[in-house]
Amino acid sequence: MEWKYLFAINDIFNEHYSFGCCLSCSVFSLNPFPDQRQLAQAYDESYYGYGETKFNPTVERVMNWFRFQNAKQFAKNLPSNARVLDVGCGNGGFLQALGKCGNFELHGIEPPGKSCDRAAIVSNLNLHKGYLEKETFSNHYFDAIVLMHVFEHLPNPLESLLIITNISKRGAILQIEIPNINSWQYRVFKSKWLHLDPPRHLNMFPPSVLIKELESHNWKLVKKSYFSPQFSPFGAQQSMLNKWFAKRDVLYEHLKGNSVYAAEHSSFSLFLQKLFQWLSFPPFAGIDWIASLFHKGATVKLLFKKL
């Protein structure tokens, strides 16, 4: 494998990584991958938020609204009584919203931790605590599978795609949402881009590469969208703040209640950052909509059907 170095990147713990692209497969990644100590640090308590929810109540209400809108759209593709798996289901919020949209059998998989604990209290959710492995589920078991900003976290993404294909029924639906490494946001912000999220985002597949890989597994692309008001405007906002401040992702960590990380910023500074977040949402959403017309939006959602 010939790997091209692009730039250095630091995480919120001031660990240093090299970011680049494989010239043979066109996948972007950290090289070398973070070790177990670095990953354990990256997924510590602060990653999942300190309170009963990941974000503060205001942000969570907004996130829940988006989850319900996404669930309504996804439910239109499902037959009644469909068996649905959310890989990396987080707090189970998307599945909980999906359960309000129809009569479905809901399954989630999430590593042990705070998010998993939150998902465990969601009613009618069959929760598997752990990781997606060959033995986790039977073959041809699910009518639909969802990976929402999870694929880039997987250490062995191609192996995971094979497992997903095996456990899906013929005619099953697969929805994958990922940061778009071909986006205008990445081009502008480079190492400061929020959605690089070092070291948790291990592999960043360009949409065309991911589509081609899934087609080789007998999945047909049904729909794609490069517009995401849920994720993309904040990506631009935080990335711009990363350009202005020495530490990355201060606002994002503050919204999760990570007061230690944001301690260097005064209450007034944090207030101004939150004010910037709310006031700049409309123009950044508009920019992302324009970018989406050229397939350059910061997030891409892909819907496939298994042949």
93-118 confidence digits (pLDDT tens) = 999 999 999 999 999 999 988 889 89
What is the maximal distance between C-alpha atoms in the chain? 55
Q: What confidence tens digit (pLDDT) does each residue in 279-292 have?
A: 999 999 999 999 99
Q: How many other CB atoms sit within 10 Å of the CB of residue 120?
A: 14
Q: Where are the domains positioned within the chain?
A: 3-306
| Percentage above 70 pLDDT, the chain | 99
User: What confidence tier does 82 reach under pLDDT thresholds 50, 70, 90?
Assistant: very high
Nearest to 261 by CA among 17, 117, 50: 50
The pLDDT of 290-300, averaged and rounded, is 98
Which residues face 225 on adjacent strands? 301
Q: Select from 114, 113, 97 the least CA-distant residue to 61.
A: 97
* pLDDT for position 1: 67
Whole-number Cα distances in Å, 127 to 8, 87, 121 = 38, 10, 10
If you average pLDDT over every residue of the chain, what do you get? 94
- CA angle 61-64-68, nearest 5°? 140
Closest CA to 122 of 108, 137, 132, 143: 108
Average pLDDT over residues 121-144: 93
pLDDT at 150 over 90: yes
Provide the pairing of β-strand 168-179 with 142-148.
parallel
Confidence check: pLDDT of 80 > 90:
no
pTM: 0.93
Residue 49 has pLDDT above 80, yes or no: no
pLDDT-based confidence at residue 258 (cuts at 50, 70, 90): confident
User: Model confidence over 178-233: pLDDT tens digits?
Assistant: 999 999 999 999 999 999 999 999 999 999 999 999 999 999 999 999 999 999 99
Task: Give residue 279's identity as a one-letter amino acid code.
Answer: L
CATH number for the domain formed by residue range(s) 3-306: 3.40.50.150
Asked whether residue 56 carries a pLDDT value surpassing 80, the answer given is: no
Q: Can you say whether the dihedral through the CA atoms of 114, 47, 86, 33 is positive or negative?
A: negative
What is the average pLDDT across 251-276? 92
